[in-house]
């Protein structure tokens, strides 16, 4: 049986394995996305962990998170911890049928304008961390964000829900700024869902908690 203990953030940092990475994260398509300041630590276990893992498994079973024909994992989810800190699934974890605490990372800070993400945990934060960060920055009432893939839904929702500019590439500060713009200038706050026009298949939903964000996604899936 694996036993995990709950530690204050400061204590978790003291357990770091002296593997602090300060580098620009680069995806398989060769496009540099953001500066990733990652401190590798043991798993960060928090009260919200089990709920996040549960909903990730639900989304994986439904195909919203998974691995594409090229073997690249897609989809990521997160939940707010305190302030603008959030727990998120790690980069490329869509390839795993099941995940555990070893696949999660805590984003401790970020700067959209400087294109940086600071995190601690056993894995690097998702390439879409700035997308999640933008929504948490928009509204303290947002407690969970889901970024999933579904081509049919993505096509059907293009003119039905708010969508980012096609020129804004996924995982960049540009798409994060687009999300902030949509939140302030459209009915995104009310709808709780957006389409990433510059990221084929990419859909984002959010809400005060995981169940609400997932419910929005599933309701739209039925309509499409």
Q: Domain containing 202: what range? A: 20-223
Residue 170: the pLDDT is: 86
Q: How many domains does the chain have?
A: 1
**How confident is the model at residue 72, as a pLDDT?**
87
**Tokens coding 52:** 């996040």
Burial class (CB in 10 A: 0-12, 13-18, 19+), 191: middle
Q: Does any domain span residue 9?
A: no
Percent of the chain topping pLDDT 90: 78
For residue 63, is it within any domain?
yes
Residue 52 has pLDDT above 90, yes or no: yes
Q: Which of 193, 182, 183 is nearest to 220 (CA)?
A: 193
- Of 24-28, 79-83, 108-112, the one with minimum mean pLDDT is 24-28
**8 Å CB contact between 141 and 208:** yes
Asked, for residue 109, whether it belongs to a domain, the answer is: yes
Q: Which of the pair, 72 or 180, is modelled with greater confidence?
A: 180
Residue 12 has pLDDT above 60, yes or no: no
Answer whether residue 208 is part of any domain. yes
Higher pLDDT, 125 or 32: 125
Percent helix, strand and coil across the chain, each to the nearest 5: 30, 30, 40
Q: Is 77 exposed, middle or buried (0-12, 13-18, 19+ CB in 10 A)?
A: buried
pLDDT mean across residues, the chain: 87
**Residue 174 maps to which CATH number?**
3.40.225.10
Asked if the structure places residue 2 within a domain, the reply is: no
Give the per-residue pLDDT at 16. Answer: 39
């Amino acid at each position: 049986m694996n036993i995990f203990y709950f530690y204050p953030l400061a204590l978790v940092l003291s357990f770091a394995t002296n593997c602090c990475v300060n580098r620009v994260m680069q995806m398989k398509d060769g496009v540099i996305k953001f500066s990733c300041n990652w401190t590798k630590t043991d798993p960060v276990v928090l009260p919200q962990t089990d709920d996040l893992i549960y909903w990730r498994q639900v989304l994986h079973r439904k195909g919203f998170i998974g691995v594409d024909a090229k073997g690249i994992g897609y989809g990521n989810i997160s939940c707010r911890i305190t302030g603008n800190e959030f727990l998120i699934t790690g980069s490329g974890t869509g390839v795993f049928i099941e995940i555990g605490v070893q696949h999660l990372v805590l984003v401790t800070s970020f700067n959209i304008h400087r294109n940086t993400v600071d995190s601690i945990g056993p894995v690097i934060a998702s390439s879409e961390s700035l997308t999640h960060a933008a929504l948490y920055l928009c509204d303290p009432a947002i407690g969970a964000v889901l970024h999933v893939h579904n081509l049919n839904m993505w096509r059907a929702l293009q003119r039905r829900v708010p969508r980012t500019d096609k020129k804004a590439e996924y995982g960049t500060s540009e798409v994060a700024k687009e999300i902030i713009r949509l939140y302030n200038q459209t009915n995104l706050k009310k709808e709780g869902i957006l389409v990433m026009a510059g990221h084929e298949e990419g859909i984002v939903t959010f809400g005060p908690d995981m169940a609400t964000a997932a419910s929005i996604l599933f309701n739209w899936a039925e309509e499409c």
